[in-house]
Amino acid sequence: KQEVTQIPAALSVPEGENLVLNCSFTDSAIYNLQWFRQDPGKGLTSLLLIQSSQREQTSGRLNASLDKSSGRSTLYIAASQPGDSATYLCAVILYQGGSEKLVFGKGTKLTVNP
């Protein structure tokens, strides 16, 4: 059974810091991996999707890497801002029986202090 773990569970940093969020998964047979942002009581906003054949994706101040063989992904946020405060979710995308399934971690709650 695929399990996704995110470390740390919570992180508080001063504005301007660069930071790394970690995600690990137990089964390397994934289709893709996706990072999301969730604001309190809200739905999910997709940040980056990494296909299994890719090693990284970049969007603005965000960079996500993927190492399938070791079952790890990282999300790097450069020059953090208070508006980055949210919960960041990592999800592995599996393809089983002709159907797609996302398995999520519990998230990392990020607080960026002004």
Partner 1 sequence: GAVVSQHPSRVICKSGTSVKIECRSLDFQATTMFWYRQFPKQSLMLMATSNEGSKATYEQGVEKDKFLINHASLTLSTLTVTSAHPEDSSFYICSARGPDTLYEQYFGPGTRLTVT
Chain residues binding partner 1 by CB under 8 A are 4, 36, 41-46, 49, 89, 91, 99-107
Min. distance of Cβ 46 from partner 1 in angstroms? 7
4 versus 86: smaller Cβ distance to partner 1 = 4
- What's the token pair of residue 59? 């969007």
76 versus 104: smaller Cβ distance to partner 1 = 104
Min. distance of Cβ 83 from partner 1 in angstroms? 18
21 versus 91: smaller Cβ distance to partner 1 = 91
Min. distance of Cβ 71 from partner 1 in angstroms? 17
Min. distance of Cβ 39 from partner 1 in angstroms? 10
Cβ-based neighbours of 35, under 8 Å, separated by 6 or more: 23, 46, 47, 48, 49, 62, 64, 73, 75, 88, 89, 90, 91
What is the Cα–Cα distance from 54 to 46, expressed in whole angstroms?
A: 17
What is the Cα–Cα distance from 75 to 16, expressed in whole angstroms?
A: 16
What is the Cα–Cα distance from 100 to 47, expressed in whole angstroms?
A: 19
Phi, psi angles (nearest 5°) of residue 88: -105, 125
53 versus 69: smaller Cβ distance to partner 1 = 53
